[in-house]
Structure 1
Amino acid sequence: MPGQQLHIDLKSATAVLSGPDHTDKKALGSVDSVCNKGIVVKENGVRHGKVNWGNTEYSFSDQSLSQVFKRIEKRYGITIAFKDAEIENYRFTGKVMYKDSLDMVMRHLCQLYDLKYTRAENNITIEKVSENLRK
């Protein structure tokens, strides 16, 4: 988010996120590797995949849809819920462009995994497309 800073200590292999005033610090876990301007963070021994960022896109490498949609929530100021829990564990590698509309991002991600989404104001619900809709 704007104003936040990510502090990486390669000697201790840790990552800490701090807010705009640098006082509200959150330990993200251990840094597994830093490469190609991307950071791989481990939290409680679980690898969370790699996120690259720049001024134009979020780039994801082998991340769960849960993690991808958390980024989308922050980017667009919305809340996303999954009707089917297994969807959260689907893996995604790809890019989300900052200039893309929320509708475009949701439409494309849902098409990839045969999902559908419904939106009510700032709340989105994602679910699998039922077998009856495919026929």
Structure 2
Amino acid sequence: MDEGLPASRPDVTAALARGVTRMLVERGLAPILEVPLANGRRADVMALTPQGEIWIVETKSCLEDYACDSKWPDYVEYCDRFFFGVTESFPREIIPEECGLVVADGFGGAILRDAPVRQLVAARRKAVTLLFARLAALRAAEF
């Protein structure tokens, strides 16, 4: 088991998201979790750079989690950069080369492979940025 990660799959997933989020904040990005997209998918982690670039990190807690999820290409059209976030023990060689790669635990993470930039068109960027802003504001309000 990876140091810093709890044993159950939900706990591993939560710790992985926490480590990815911490790493993004350390790099100057503003991340939020569980972002619903217009195509009906839900991004595990979405982050906004100071320049307005949109990143999505799809977390995979184990090989089974990755194997049963073939919908990752549906996220690419909603971000400038797409990454997989995995644990230290995850078999990294199966992550597609066209995706960025983050390895994380409950305390932080590192980008092992940068994601290629696929610049969003202006209309999609505006829609996703507004979604991000509204979701972040609603969560901050905590009714």
TM-score, normalised to structure 2's length? 0.25
Q: Which has the higher strand share?
A: 1
Structure ranking higher on relative contact order (CA contacts 8 Å, 6+ apart)? 2
TM-score w.r.t. length of structure 1? 0.26
